[in-house]
Amino acid sequence: MLPFKTLLVIDRNSEIAVYRQLANQMVSLINKGTLLPNMELPSTRSLALSLGLHRKTIMAAYNDLVAEDWLESVERKGYKVSGHLPAIRPRSYTARSHAGYSGKAAFDFARLDNVPLLPRASTGAKVIVDDGFPEKSIFPIESVSKEYKKLMYQSISDSQAQMGDIGGSAYFKECLSVFLNDTRGLNILTTNLLVTRGAQMAIYIAASLIIKPGDKIIVSDPSYFIADATFLHLGAELIRIPMDQEGMQIDAIEEVLKENKIKLLYIIPHHHHPTTTTLSPQRRSRLLALIKENNLPVIEDDYDYDFQYQQEPYLPLASGDHGGNIIYIGSLTKVLGTNYRLGYMIATNDFLNNALKLKSLIDLRGDMLMEGTIASLLQSGDLARFISKANRLYESRCNYAYELIKNELTDVVDFVKPQGGMALWLKFKDAYPLSNILTKASSFGLEMTGSAYHLGDNAKHNAIRFGYASINEQQMDFAVNIIKKITGA
């Protein structure tokens, strides 16, 4: 039942009779779509009670409205809105007018015209080649859902559980910091760790604290497009550094630093997004020295660290001697899948405290159930075992994809085998404009949703990420065959 008491407001000082005020307002509710055709109305008795009016006043209003064809009286049932309104046709739910929100905002606000939205695959796709997401079928659903339910019951009796922890629950941070120290050669305490909703929130927060409009920052060419959009939204001017097979060119960074006041360096040293190249150990050492010399703030985005196929992993910059200048950002999303968005930021305690405060304005409380669930997987070692298993699978899929594309598409694409991660970076030759290929592929049931860098400022790249981790060999065969067919290779 609609709240007629607030919908119908009577002005006793008006020159219009109360019953007619009522009738007019009901017509307006019908025209707005709040009262729909054939909707039953409250009895005169109950509406009178609810509005504090005499029942005869309501009857007078209803009688007028029946006379005007707005209402119908139904024998022994009372009144309903007419099913055959003269002025308006019966409308389905979605066609209801929505007076308040149907137009445009009449006030000024910021337009983010240059922020690109993530692509979505059409629902009819036979095979989706994504940006580099994990294989979902190996996820330990049983143990996760069991733990999740257990924690829901536990939280009933936990008097602290309503409070949440803006920066991550203490137990999760403890387990995560041990995991990060073990796997990444870090030496952090939980006071250096902020849990965020995915790595993206960490990037947004760190950049917001550092960048002021007009500041110059260094990024790679190309660089992760959502990070680009974040920095541009905050008013930064991007200085782009070329990439080659050893990662970002440190000579070029050094030159830029000599001639500019640089507020931030954004770098993805492992399996760079989008190009998949890894910063070489030699460049890593030189860059660390540069960072320390210049007190250069750095966001090290290490979204993909856990998937390295060489015998011993390359450590992050953050494990080196950087004088507290590196803000290290990572995520468990590439391990667990996009359903589980646990990211984190590692920084000196003073920076982290301010990041925590900004986080409280954006996302007041953490996801305690999810944090608790994953903490138990970290603690038991299940997560480490799951990562090993995933690594073996992804490495074999990487090898398969590499051989397949090398054999079938060598005249169509240039690419290099990555040292880890979940995607290849396919640079289509100029003769094969990516826009055409994507459109045609879609018509054959192949959707390629990986980050593509062939439009606008990035047009020179004509390249796309080919995620191999989430598709099996048959699906890769299908995808490569379609591309081959389209390109006539």
The β-bridge relationship of strands 127-129 and 78-81 is unpaired
Work out whether 52 is an interface residue with a second copy (CB under 8 A): no
155 near a second copy, rule: CB under 8 A: yes
Tell whether residue 286 is a contact of a second copy (CB under 8 A): no
Q: Which two tokens stand for residue 444?
A: 């054959």
Integer CA distances (angstroms), 52 to 1, 36, 45, 134, in order: 18, 25, 10, 62
Query: Which of 67, 141, 416, 455 touches a second copy by CB under 8 A?
Result: 141
The binder of a second copy chosen from 56, 136, 406, 429 (CB under 8 A)? 136
CB 76, min distance to a second copy, A = 25
- From 149-157, 239-247, 378-386, 481-489, give the range in contact with a second copy by CB under 8 A: 149-157
SS3 48: helix
CB atoms within 10 A of CB 357: 13
Q: How far is the CB of 444 from a second copy (least distance, A)?
A: 16
Give the binding-site size for a second copy (rule: CB under 8 A).
125
Is 354 one of the binding residues for a second copy (CB under 8 A)?
yes
Our CA angle for 46, 47, 50, nearest 5°, is 85
Question: Side chain identity at 464, as an amino acid letter?
Answer: I
Q: Using DSSP, how many helices (H) and how many strands (E) does the chain show?
A: 16, 16
Sign of CA dihedral 235, 241, 242, 245: negative
> Given the complex with a second copy, which of 260 and 410 has the nearer CB atom?
260
The footprint of a second copy on residues 366-395 (CB under 8 A) is 367-369
Which residue, 364 or 431, has its beta carbon nearer to a second copy?
A: 364
* Token pair belonging to 426: 């396919």
Q: Examine residue 111 and tell whether it contacts a second copy (CB under 8 A).
A: yes
**230: number of Cβ within 10 Å:** 20
Considering beta carbons, is residue 48 or 66 the nearer one to a second copy?
A: 48
326, 290 contact by CB (below 8 A): no
With respect to a second copy, which residue has the nearer C-beta, 146 or 429? 146
Q: Using CB under 8 A, which of 361, 443, 456, 488 touches a second copy?
A: 361
**Residue partners of 94: CB distance under 8 A and separation at least 6:** none
Q: Does 5 bind a second copy (CB under 8 A)?
A: yes
As a whole number of angstroms, the distance between CA 208 and CA 353 comes to: 14
Binders in 290-349 for a second copy, by CB under 8 A = 295-297, 311-315, 318-326, 337-339, 341, 346-349
Q: CA-CA distances (angstroms) from residue 42 to 29, 62, 474?
A: 14, 11, 62
Calpha distance 6→50 (Å, rounded): 10
Give yes or no for residue 24 binding a second copy (CB under 8 A).
no
Is the sign of the CA dihedral 200, 110, 228, 483 positive or negative?
positive
- Other beta carbons less than 10 A from residue 300's beta carbon: 24
Nearest to 401 by CA among 450, 340, 328, 342: 450
What CA–CA distance (Å, rounded) separates 358 from 344? 14
Q: Which is nearer to a second copy, 66 or 171 (CB)?
A: 171
DSSP symbols for 334-395: HHH-TT---EEEE--HHHHHHHHHHHHHH--S--HHHHHHHHHHHHHSHHHHHHHHHHHHHH
32 versus 454: smaller Cβ distance to a second copy: 32
Contacts (CB under 8 A) with a second copy, residues 413-472 = 449, 470
Nearest distance from C-beta of residue 433 to a second copy, angstroms: 25
Among 14, 38, 73, 97, binds a second copy (CB under 8 A): 97
Residues 171-230 that bind a second copy (CB under 8 A): 178, 185-189, 192, 197-198, 200-201, 204, 208-210, 226, 229-230
Closest distance of CB 162 from a second copy, Å = 5
Nearer to a second copy, 239 or 412 (CB): 239
Q: Which residue from 92, 123, 407, 443 is in contact with a second copy, where contact means CB under 8 A? A: 123
Report, in Å, the least distance between residue 337 CB and a second copy. Answer: 7
**8-state DSSP, 447:** E
- Give the shortest CB-238-to-a second copy separation in angstroms: 15
CA-based Rg of the chain, rounded to a whole angstrom? 30
Binding of a second copy by 14 (CB under 8 A): no
If binding is defined by CB under 8 A, does position 115 make contact with a second copy? yes
